[in-house]
Amino acid sequence: MTRPLLMIPGPIEFTDEVMMEMGRPTYSHVDPAFIAIFSQALRDLRAVFLADDDHQPFILAGSGTLAMDSAAANLVEPGDRVLVVNTGYFSLRMADICRRYGAQVDAIDAAPGETVSADQVAAALQQGDYAIVTITHVDTSTGVLTDVKGMARAAKEAGALTIVDGVCAAAAEEMRQSEWGVDVYLTASQKAIGVPPGLALLVASPAAMEKWRGRSTPVGSYYADWNQWLPIMEAYEGRRAAYFATPAVNLVMALAVSLRQILDEGMDAVFARHRGLSDAVKAGIQALGLAQVPSAYEHAAHTLTCPRYPDGVDASFLAHVRAHGAILAGGLYPSIKSEYFRIGHMGAVGRGDVLATLGAVEAGLRAAGYAIEPGVALAAAQAVMDA
């Protein structure tokens, strides 16, 4: 039985090589073969983020929320002022996490579909002594892309660290961690990194590690504490056995395969491929006469597309799309949740997947009673991909 394409913004479709690694016999976590695999994965994670060798990678068993929690638990101390760039649901989650660790949180809020500029961040930073700025590279709930490069520069000029949530962006949207001065970049395995759910991934700059080392209070989380994990990461990268908590062995094995596939393609090529696929999907959606949640192309993500339902169509249309071969996601941002749906296009997704998905969207819309010319979205997307 052939299942529909999984075209949601994570989990995504994974390569055969990654899935084969998931099915291999499990190594002991202190087996020399696994230690070598973990060592290479740590080095390759740093390379995918375009981070220098002095940046510290962490590979933890857990979700993207754990990655967010780990960054905040280790860098936020009670009383720290944190500026949150709020472009959606997951920006607000980061604000909640920082409050949990005692931060005084201020936010720059964008309306659903709007973004925040680097100039706004710079202006807000002049209003207080902020220790940290948190940025959501792509908020999965709105499909809004932020200017991480400009915001990180503004934060650095103000003497603040940056935590960037790259869960729906890493290994797809352009990110040059060292060059841009991002202090913590974090993600989860199930998005463009291309591995089934279960790994929280972070890379921390020397400045972030210095703030952590200079804490005057203990880290408030036991599991997420870098005091527990740094010796483990250093040991594995140095090809030595170490133990704090059992790693997700097969997920780490699969991660090593996926990271190598990404690096073999080349980061600039990866960024360009995602831009091209995104342009094709968005052209197809526009040809169908559907508006999108991001209010301008310039701040629309390249990892997902968030079309608005046309008049007379609601979320029941997603079942028709599934019946025609593609699984899509409904809306997530609370105030507009019923107004839009989401198409993921990241990681191993290719031209054929995009065309199959747009064909399913066309068929689903017709089944839902929306009159469209057959093939119009496919033609628009094909024109972009062939340009």
Per-residue model confidence (pLDDT) at position 290: 98
Query: Which residues, 6+ apart, have CB-to-CB distance to 63 below 8 Å?
Result: 188, 197, 198, 200
The edge-to-edge listing of strands for the beta sheet with 199-204 is: 56-61, 199-204, 184-188, 161-165, 132-136, 81-86, 104-109
Per-residue model confidence (pLDDT) at position 85: 98
What is the chain's mean pLDDT, rounded? 97
Q: How many whole angstroms separate alpha carbon 302 and alpha carbon 13?
A: 16
By the 8 A CB rule, do 259 and 107 touch? no
- pLDDT interval class at 259 (50, 70, 90): very high
This prediction has a pTM of 0.98
Q: How many whole angstroms separate alpha carbon 51 and alpha carbon 166?
A: 14
- The mean pLDDT of 59-78, rounded to a whole number, is 98
DSSP H helix total and E strand total for the chain: 14, 14
Query: Which residues, 6+ apart, have CB-to-CB distance to 62 below 8 Å?
Result: 198, 199, 200, 223
Q: How many whole angstroms separate alpha carbon 187 and alpha carbon 193?
A: 8
Structural domains of the chain ordered from first start: 5-10+266-386 (3.90.1150.10), 16-265 (3.40.640.10)
Q: What's phi and psi for 58, nearest 5 deg? A: -130, 135
Query: Which residues, 6+ apart, have CB-to-CB distance to 211 below 8 Å?
Result: 75, 131, 161
- pLDDT interval class at 311 (50, 70, 90): very high
Q: For residue 251, give the amino acid letter.
A: L
Which residues, in sequence order, are bridge partners of residue 340? 308
- The mean pLDDT of 161-190, rounded to a whole number, is 98
Asked whether residue 374 carries a pLDDT value surpassing 80, the answer given is yes
Per-residue model confidence (pLDDT) at position 1: 47
Q: How many whole angstroms separate alpha carbon 98 and alpha carbon 306?
A: 28
Q: Where are the beta strands (DSSP E) in the chain?
A: 5-6, 56-61, 81-86, 104-109, 132-136, 138-139, 144-145, 161-165, 184-188, 199-204, 304-305, 326-327, 329-330, 341-344
pLDDT in tens, 133-158: 999 999 999 999 999 999 999 999 99
Q: How many whole angstroms separate alpha carbon 302 and alpha carbon 145?
A: 8
Per-residue model confidence (pLDDT) at position 387: 86
- pLDDT interval class at 100 (50, 70, 90): very high
pLDDT in tens, 1-57: 488 999 999 999 999 999 999 999 999 999 999 999 999 999 999 999 999 999 999
- The mean pLDDT of 156-166, rounded to a whole number, is 98
By the 8 A CB rule, do 258 and 283 touch? no
Query: Which residues, 6+ apart, have CB-to-CB distance to 234 below 8 Å?
Result: none
Query: Which residues, 6+ apart, have CB-to-CB distance to 367 below 8 Å?
Result: 317, 320, 323, 324
- The mean pLDDT of 61-69, rounded to a whole number, is 98
Q: How far apart are the first and last CA of the chain?
A: 35
Query: Which residues, 6+ apart, have CB-to-CB distance to 297 below 8 Å?
Result: 282
The tokens describing 67, both together, are 């990655």
**Cα angle value 75/81/83 (rounded, 5°):** 90
By the 8 A CB rule, do 118 and 154 touch? yes
Asked whether residue 178 carries a pLDDT value surpassing 90, the answer given is yes
- Give which of 259, 161, 149, 145 is closest to 208, Cα–Cα: 161
HSE at residue 256, side-chain half, CA atoms within 13 A, is 20
- pLDDT interval class at 177 (50, 70, 90): very high
- pLDDT interval class at 297 (50, 70, 90): very high
